[in-house]
Amino acid sequence: MNGNLLLRIAVSIILLTHSVFGMFNNGINDFGNLYLNQIGFAPFGVFLAWSIKLSHVIAAVLLLLNKYIKLAGFVTIFVLIMGIVLVHFKEGWFVVGGGRNGVEYNFLLIVVLLAIMFPNGFKKVQSN
């Protein structure tokens, strides 16, 4: 078992647990209605919230299957960056400890997704 597989499993578990529970406890609808609609996404807040969470589920499955890794990664990174911009940035860096609901968790997930997407690093394409 290589490190890339371990990272794909770990990120998939995080994405699934972060999404699936909200599907059954009304968390996704609440996020859409009580947050996204309130900050200017009305009347599309619930649709957007469900789209975000379903993209996490699809990305998790693709990561586990080792299929369309870059597409799944780019979509998830976009969602995480928007989460930073709209929700977490104003709360600071720390998720717990020095603060609450900050950026650090999304930052770590973005870096891990980049490591999964580019396991050999970023290489320049040389033209002849």
Quick one: how far is CA 118 from the chain centroid? 17
Nearest alpha carbon to residue 79 among 112, 117, 49: 49
* Inside any domain, residue 32: yes
Number of domains in the chain: 1
| Distance in angstroms (rounded) separating the CA atoms of residues 75 and 65 | 17
| Distance in angstroms (rounded) separating the CA atoms of residues 83 and 52 | 10
* Inside any domain, residue 128: no
* Inside any domain, residue 123: no
* Inside any domain, residue 44: yes
* Inside any domain, residue 30: yes
pLDDT tens string 26-40? 999 999 999 999 999
**Which pLDDT score is estimated for 128?**
61
Q: What is the dihedral of CA 81, 52, 58, 66, to 10 degrees?
A: 0
Give me the amino acid identity at 47: F
pLDDT tens string 44-98? 999 999 999 999 999 999 999 999 999 999 999 999 999 999 999 999 889 888 7
